[in-house]
Amino acid sequence: MTKSNTMWGGRFAEGPDAIMEAINASIGFDRRMARQDIEGSRAHAAMLAATGIVTASDAEAIREGLLTVLSEIESGTFDYSTALEDIHMNVEARLTELIGAPAGRLHTARSRNDQVALDFRMWVRDQADAAIDALPRLMAALVDQAEAGADWVMPGFTHLQTAQPVTWGHHMLAYVEMFARDLGRMQDARRRMNECPLGTAALAGTSFPIDREMTAKELGFDRPAANSLDAVSDRDFALEFLSAATICAMHLSRLAEELVIWSSAQFRFVRLSDRWSTGSSIMPQKRNPDAAELLRAKIGRILGAQVALLTVMKGLPLTYSKDMQEDKEQVFDAADSLMLALAAMTGMVSDMTAEKENLEAAASSGFSTATDLADWLVRVLDLPFREAHHVTGALVKLAEEAGIDLPELSMEQMHAVEPRITEDVFEVLGVRNSVASRTSYGGTAPDNVRAQAARWKEKLA
């Protein structure tokens, strides 16, 4: 007969089946919240003393003992037990071994339900902080690229077909805008999650005269959560973190996809540094963008975590159900993936070199200034835009048939389509003039790019 659980086994004659123990235990993964658990318990103990619920000397013994437990965990000497289920009971059991009777007073006016809600919230908050720290570094790397290449011309694409010339800097700053929104979403999520569930106890609150303001403040929260039923069963904080992470991972994936395409032999728009490329074991010429490919894939795990947690939560009646123990592993994995992806992208972007000449050559092919030609016909010859579009289409067809680009068409060829065209038209057919003319707010003109890059630099400083 196995022994009943030392923490809750009072009414049990027998211990759990081995498989029951295996399915029930979370210590294999929730040990990642050890620091948060101990921090929360130390704040709780201090509050129990301040409110006279336990004596100052017992609270002191608990607080000191918890520091010893933490140092054992951090130095790797802590002996985790599956029989003790989770990090909460592992810590408390070790505390009992260390300090004896006073340890039994720590769990006064508290439950594992508010304890795990607190630990997990603090863990996710730390990850949000890490992302809030990492995103501006990625943005700064992109701004540096934008500044360097404010007037490098490249093809802008729609449907991955050459559309209009744009500038390298403008393209880089497009991602800065995306990551800025990701940063804002992380900050919003962090703000909303910053309410403390500790002291809501099992689900209904407690009859002890606790001071929830005190623990909330001590643990860096803005306020205690206002409804105990909600506080013990809310996992929105993790879901919002995952939502922000998923959208950010989608942006990382899009940029990664561009780097994969751009670094190919067919494009040669960028050269990834040796530090961010890998070789092939059989093809000596290869420089593979493995990091970009892995980054492109990371969204699968992160979105997967979000779907998994939403699915766990969606049918749960209030309040805590053990289903909620399934909330952690995928969030841990998603957070790890996001942080690694952000760091890798920052490194890759900082190190990569744009192949200026190739960018400009590509920008000049594919009739990329056809819109400039149509606009010229509107502006100078006063054609309605629809007619200008038609005339330009005919000129593109002519050039295509002749196997040349628009600027190479002769005056005679142009006059065959529209006799009023003058030599001035050639000015708008060059890609540099094209990008320089896009001065509308938010447009790709180098001056705009320089102004936006400067704005971001100041903001990020």
Residue 84 lies near ligand ARG (rule: CB under 6 A)? no
Q: Which residue in 159, 207, 281, 440 is the catalytic one?
A: 159
Residue 121 lies near ligand ARG (rule: CB under 6 A)? no
Please enumerate in sequence order all residues whose Cβ is within 8 A of that of 92, keeping only pairs 6 or more positions apart, or say none: 7, 41, 103, 106, 107
Q: Which stretch binds ligand ARG (CB under 6 A): 14-22, 73-81, 318-326, 356-364?
A: 318-326
User: Has 280 been annotated as catalytic?
Assistant: yes
Q: Which stretch binds ligand ARG (CB under 6 A): 57-65, 90-98, 109-117, 425-433?
A: 109-117
CB of 234 to ligand ARG, least distance (A): 13
* Alpha-carbon span 84 to 333, nearest angstrom: 24
Residue 325 lies near ligand ARG (rule: CB under 6 A)? yes
CB of 233 to ligand ARG, least distance (A): 11
Residue 7 or residue 299: which is nearer to ligand ARG going by CB? 7
User: Has 273 been annotated as catalytic?
Assistant: no
Residue 116 lies near ligand ARG (rule: CB under 6 A)? yes
Residue 95 or residue 373: which is nearer to ligand ARG going by CB? 95
Number of residues counted as binding ligand ARG (CB under 6 A): 10
Residue 324 lies near ligand ARG (rule: CB under 6 A)? yes
Residue 111 or residue 277: which is nearer to ligand ARG going by CB? 111
Residue 236 or residue 293: which is nearer to ligand ARG going by CB? 236
Q: Which residue in 264, 280, 365, 410 is the catalytic one?
A: 280
CB of 59 to ligand ARG, least distance (A): 23
Q: Which of 320, 367, 376, 456 binds ligand ARG (CB under 6 A)?
A: 320
Residue 26 or residue 164: which is nearer to ligand ARG going by CB? 26
CB of 116 to ligand ARG, least distance (A): 4
Residue 352 lies near ligand ARG (rule: CB under 6 A)? no
Residue 146 lies near ligand ARG (rule: CB under 6 A)? no
Residue 313 lies near ligand ARG (rule: CB under 6 A)? no
Q: Which of 90, 113, 233, 330 binds ligand ARG (CB under 6 A)?
A: 113
Q: For the window 17-46, what string marks contact with ligand ARG as x by the rule CB under 6 A? A: ---------x---x----------------
Residue 164 lies near ligand ARG (rule: CB under 6 A)? no
Binding site for ligand ARG (CB under 6 A): 26, 30, 86, 112-113, 116, 320, 322, 324-325
